[in-house]
A and B are shown apart, each in its own frame.
Chain A
């Protein structure tokens, strides 16, 4: 009964590969986010979707492409992975009219 879940939890891959991270929330929220946490633990927003519509794109390279098949799911596809993409990626969700954001457990991506 996890509120915001992500798969996989760990992802190790080589430079140049393409990979996807999946996120699902069962809170009934309308807005979902992707955040990146770097090696210094700094958290920065990447994307936000509201009811399957992209509403935030924070100057993220085109190699990153989010997709929201429905309002409960937000996936992140990354093409041509680079060493600098190594980080922990967090999904979060928020209800319309609310301010509280609830985070998933994170996906630790390691690019070798």
Chain B
């Protein structure tokens, strides 16, 4: 059962454009929603995260928008740069205990110069 669904699978954006990746979740017990960035041959690196008590969080060029009622959240990359080309994963965890991360399927982002 895929608890976090991510789209699109791949995305090509021109340099300077806005990249948007969407995720939807099913489990209402989730209360932590991070985004990870992964470059080829490297481990996933935490990019930005949000909790459901806010609808938006911004860090530099990266913004998470969160819609609790729709159980959806998205990553926006403003002024996209070729160095942003990577695979992006949304994830979710929640409740007490081990807080295992449930990942989306990943989006391969390519920024064309």
Interface of A (DSSP majority class)? strand
The answer to the question of B100 belonging to the interface, with a C-beta cut-off of 8 Å to chain A, is yes
The answer to the question of B32 belonging to the interface, with a C-beta cut-off of 8 Å to chain A, is yes
B98 touches A100 (CB 8 A): no
Q: Interface size bucket, B side?
A: 20 to 34
Interface size on A, residues (CB 8 A): 25
The answer to the question of A48 belonging to the interface, with a C-beta cut-off of 8 Å to chain B, is yes
- Contact partner of B49 (CB less than 8 A), chosen from A33, A56, A99, is A99
- Contact partner of B43 (CB less than 8 A), chosen from A48, A94, A99, A103, is A103
| B31 nearest CB across to chain A (Å) | 8
For residue B45, which residue of chain A has the nearest CB?
Answer: A103
Contact sample, A vs B, 6 pairs, CB 8 Å cutoff: A45-B100, A48-B100, A94-B99, A104-B43, A105-B42, A105-B43
* A interface residues with partner B (beta carbon < 8 Å): 4, 31, 33, 35, 40-45, 48, 50, 55-56, 58, 90, 94, 99-106
